[in-house]
Amino acid sequence: MHHKKLLALIGKKGISAMEVLHDVSVLVNDMLYWCLISPFKGKPVRVRATISEIVKTGYDSVPTVLIISFFVGVILALQSAYQLRTFGALIYVANLVGVSVTRELGPILTAIIVAGRSGSAFAAEIGSMKAAEEIDALTSMGINPIRFLIVPKLIALMLMQPVLTAIFDLTAILGGFSVSVTELELNSGLYIDQTINALQLKDFLTGLMKAWAFGVVITIVGAYHGFKVKGSAEEVGLRTTASVVSSIFMVIFFDFFFTALFYYFL
């Protein structure tokens, strides 16, 4: 009897997972079409809406990214100094801060910030429109909701996620530098030289490639959860929360994928 229940549960979960996969693939297919193909068929991207999304997702996120990244740099420098001091190798704080931020912490922490700010906003906006039957109204007027709502958000995040990540990287390195030359009493010129020598262009570029992919993932997850809202305002809240959790999970999964890829092929 227990085996039957277990098999039934596995079957149900498997079917629901396949349904999610199907819905996501349809959404991604529509997004690719309206983003890449339809502009060549006389249906251009909504430029003003895209600029508005760039301001909301990118420009408005800058203060949060600046504050968090500066403190991340300070914390990294102090924690690494705690270990490196015992070996008399404090100057390697520069290496540790520079490489760990550009390759890993910059892209992933920026993505988590954006998932919390913009990904949840996407899900809430689309979910509210779905609950109020505004999405159905758009469709009945002959306006495709993917082109109208999602494509500007997708383009905005594809552009702004790498920019925000670059800001995070530079500010975190500045945070590490500031605490190193004051509290740790390292020579400022030596610290800068050490950072430049430690960092390679590929460290920076792999981080920005990850950031671009994370921007796409966050948009897809936010849009998926928004379109899944069935009716009540309570469900909008649940889907908004689910979008943040799912975005962070997917960001970490893709981070693992890209890290493995770069490790073996770069």
> pLDDT per residue over 128-159, tens digit each?
988 888 888 988 998 888 888 899 999 999 99
- What average pLDDT does this structure show over 245-251? 93
For residue 1, name the pLDDT band (cuts at 50, 70, 90): low
Q: Is the pLDDT of residue 9 over 80?
A: no
152/174 Cα distance (integer angstroms)? 33
21/19 Cα distance (integer angstroms)? 5
- Per-residue DSSP letters for 20-37? HHHHHHHHHHHHHIIIII
Cα–Cα nearest to 31, from 139, 115, 154: 154
154/56 Cα distance (integer angstroms)? 13
User: What's this model's pTM, rounded to 2 decimal places?
Assistant: 0.89
Q: Which of 11-15, 34-38, 75-79 has the highest mean pLDDT?
A: 75-79
Q: Which of 81-90, 120-129, 160-169 has the highest mean pLDDT?
A: 160-169
Of residues 6 and 254, which shows the higher confidence score? 254
Q: Is the pLDDT of residue 258 over 70?
A: yes
Domain ranges in the chain? Answer: 44-265
Of residues 73 and 203, which shows the higher confidence score? 73
Q: How many CA atoms lie within 13 A of 128 on its CB side?
A: 8
For residue 37, name the pLDDT band (cuts at 50, 70, 90): confident
